Amino acid sequence: MRRNVLLVTLLCFWAVTVTTVTASAKKQPLTEPTWVQTGGIKEFPTDLYITGVGSAQVTYNDTAAAQAEADAKAIAQVAKQIEVVINQLSSSFEREVSSSTKGSSSQKDIWEKTAAFVKIKIEGVRIEDRYFDEASNRLYALALFDRVAQGTRISNQIATLQSNAAALIREAEKSRQTTGKLNRAVAAYGLAVKKMILALRQNQYLSIIAPDMVHPDIPADIAQLQADLTAFLTMFSFEITGGDNQQGVVSGHLNDPLQVRVSYQKVAVPSMPVAFKFVDGHGNIDVYARTDAQGFASTSVSNLGPTGKKINKIRAFIDIYPSDPQIQKELTALIPPVYAQFTYFLPAVEDTKIAVVVNDYNLGNRQSDSYLANRIIQTLSQSKLKIVKNIPAELVGEAYDINGGPAMDKTLNRLSAIADIAIVGDVKATTMDGTVTSGLVFTRARAMVKIFDLGSRTEIANIDVSTKGAGPSREESGRRSLKKISSQASEQVTKEVQRTLFGR
């Protein structure tokens, strides 16, 4: 009985083994398949499929690694073919549009605006077959992209985007009937345009992988949406109510905020998204704002950069889609913005006037001549900056608190009449320790210097340096320490001036 059971078990094991080996043999052809040489084109027609072949050497019997490499190369071949077609079409359309004297907004023009942003998706790629060449110890993989299957999926996505855009357009048209809901209308239009731009990108992709499934109505839908939104935006108006025609300075702030009032058919609009953007010039700006109940929106501008232009401009406009800069960029290309434009004046760096006021204290006694101020003036004079050397004597001797307060505000206010930037500082030397036996007095010196934009009374740089020194007497030790700290601090001040004014 036991023998019979053992015999049946062995027969079953043999049958399973034979089945497994047979199945393996079917998966692994003994002769080289034709797709290895032809790339699969004969087996899979190019109008229905895109194929790619990749291969990898099997080293150290690591078949899994070779398979992964071969698969990746095959998939990359498929993606490369799609990418090449896109680049060819984009370049062709770009040449045709650039040669056009009318600059039409035709399908070619739309392609130019969107082709560069087409997302190449290859989710539909699958590995159809593999082959191992024992003679060369090389593994091959065939990747297959089903145009029809992928095209159907993309076509369904486009239809959904079109349907969503249509619903948003209806919502926008309903909301624009009420002043208090105009912000909702703008938001709905913005989302609708975004979805149509995404649909256009997908449609361009579809025209490459499955041309028969292209949605021909998308360009007309976008043109209609473009016309409706343009007509809607032209009903808005901007009034500059503050901050225009200001005088700035490189690395400084504009003293007053930029403010606009947004109206729709002469009625103030609340909660409207407004964007502020440099047209000429650059710096830090609060880009996004919303109008208040009276229709006012404002922003602040700081850290103005050198532009080489005396007159610079900042534009305020309705922000149709604030959360996606790329969509906003495309919207600006499709929809001419309604805007207000601010102007600010920025003198060239070489024309910037700098006043240097520094008080030295030698062990509690204020020096009549500042080592640090002299070093700063000497160093800066080597540049093209204009150093104000004839500072009124009463202003130089005026007491102020380097950390701020009314006395500092008064000093900065008086300096603003003669300069654009002020370098204000304190240098102090104090006794640390003295020993009778050595005859040396040890001192510590500290220099604190701040750089101010006098137009806005804004601090744009801060330097704090300290050092130790020694000398045979209190006065000599103090002077030695002051000279040493002045040399170190002036180098730091010069670096800050170069960084803030020249961006170096």
Exposure on the CB side of residue 59, measured as CA atoms within 13 A: 4
For the domain spanning 350-502, the CATH number is: 3.30.160.150
| pLDDT band, very low/low/confident/very high, at 138 (cuts 50, 70, 90) | very high
The string of pLDDT tens digits covering residues 175-213 is 999 988 999 999 899 889 889 888 988 888 888 888 899
pLDDT of 318:
87
- Say which range, 14-23, 45-54, 247-256, 369-378, has the weakest mean pLDDT: 14-23
User: 236-322+336-347: what fold?
Assistant: Immunoglobulin-like (2.60.40)
As to burial, measured by CB atoms within 10 angstroms (0-12 exposed, 13-18 middle, 19+ buried), residue 449 is buried
Q: Which residue has the higher pLDDT, 327 or 419?
A: 419
Flag the least confident range among 150-164, 291-305, 367-381, 441-455: 367-381
* DSSP secondary structure letter of residue 475: H
Backbone angles phi, psi at 215, to 5 degrees: -90, 105
- Greater pLDDT, 381 or 53: 53
Q: What would the 3-class secondary structure string for 16-71 be?
A: HHHHHHHHHHHHCCCCCCCHHHHCCCCCCCCCCEEEEEEEEECCCCCHHHHHHHHH
Confidence of residue 236 (pLDDT cuts 50, 70, 90): very high
CA distances from 115 to 88, 90, 198, 330 (A): 11, 6, 11, 12
Dist. CA 316–CA 329, nearest whole Å: 15
In the sheet that holds 138-146, the strands lie side by side as: 49-57, 138-146, 125-133
pLDDT at 1 (0 to 100)? 46
Per-residue model confidence (pLDDT) at position 324? 64
| Residue range 305-364, pLDDT digits in tens | 777 678 889 999 888 765 566 666 666 666 767 789 999 988 777 778 899 999 888 887
User: What band does 424 get if pLDDT is binned at 50, 70 and 90?
Assistant: very high
**Which of 137-146, 270-279, 365-374, 399-408 bottoms out in mean pLDDT, i.e. has the lowest?**
365-374
The reported pLDDT for the residue numbered 94 is: 56
| 93, pLDDT greater than 80 | no
Average pLDDT of 258-269?
94
State the pLDDT at residue 398. Answer: 77
Pick from 46-55, 94-103, 333-342, 347-356: least confident = 94-103
Please tell me which residue, 158 or 433, carries the higher pLDDT value: 158
Residue 292 has pLDDT above 90, yes or no: yes
What integer pLDDT is reported at residue 86 of this predicted model? 67
Pick the range with the lowest mean pLDDT from 2-6, 27-31, 43-47, 303-307: 2-6
Average pLDDT over residues 155-163: 96
| Helical H segments across 53-146, by residue range | 63-99, 107-114
Q: What is the pLDDT of residue 129?
A: 94
Residue 117 has pLDDT above 80, yes or no: no
Over range 77-87, report the average pLDDT: 78
Which pLDDT band, with edges at 50, 70 and 90, does 391 fall under? confident
What are the two backbone dihedrals, phi and then psi, of residue 294, each rounded to the nearest 5 degrees? Answer: -95, 5
Q: What is the mean pLDDT of residues 169-176?
A: 94
Alpha-carbon span 330 to 334, nearest angstrom = 6
Of the segments 25-39, 100-114, 256-270, 484-498, which one has the largest average pLDDT value?
256-270
Tell me the average pLDDT of the chain.
81
User: What is the predicted pLDDT for the residue at 331?
Assistant: 66
b/e map 471-481, b = 16+ CB within 10 Å? beebeebbbbb
Instruction: Select from 129, 118, 137 the least CA-distant residue to 79.
Output: 118
Which two tokens mark 90? 């984009």
Domain range summary for the chain, segments of one domain joined by +: 1-30, 34-148, 151-233, 236-322+336-347, 350-502
The reported pLDDT for the residue numbered 53 is: 94
Q: What is the model's pLDDT at position 462?
A: 92
Distances (CA, A) of 337 to 181, 233, 242, 251: 20, 8, 21, 29
Helix or strand run (H / E) with residue 299: strand 296-299
Instruction: With cut-offs at 50, 70 and 90, classify the pLDDT of residue 18.
Output: very low
pTM of full prediction above 0.75: no
Lowest mean pLDDT among 49-63, 76-90, 291-305, 422-436: 76-90
Inform me whether the pLDDT recorded for 103 exceeds 50.
no
Task: Report pLDDT for 116.
Answer: 43
Supply the pLDDT for residue 114: 46
3-state secondary structure of 423: strand
Positive/negative CA dihedral, 328, 333, 334, 336: positive
Per-residue confidence (pLDDT) for residue 13, from 0 to 100: 34
Percent of the chain topping pLDDT 70: 81
pLDDT for res 365: 79
Inter-residue contact 500 to 460 (CB < 8 Å): yes
Give the per-residue pLDDT at 42: 83
Paired residues of 258 in beta bridges: 299
Give the model confidence (pLDDT) of 440-449 as tens digits.
Answer: 888 889 999 9
Long-range contacts of 53-60 (CB under 8 A, 24+ apart): 53/77, 53/140, 53/141, 53/142, 53/143, 54/140, 54/141, 54/143, 55/138, 55/139, 55/140, 55/141, 56/138, 56/139, 57/137, 57/138, 57/139, 58/132, 58/137, 58/138, 58/139
Q: Give the β-pairing of 339-345 and 246-247.
A: parallel
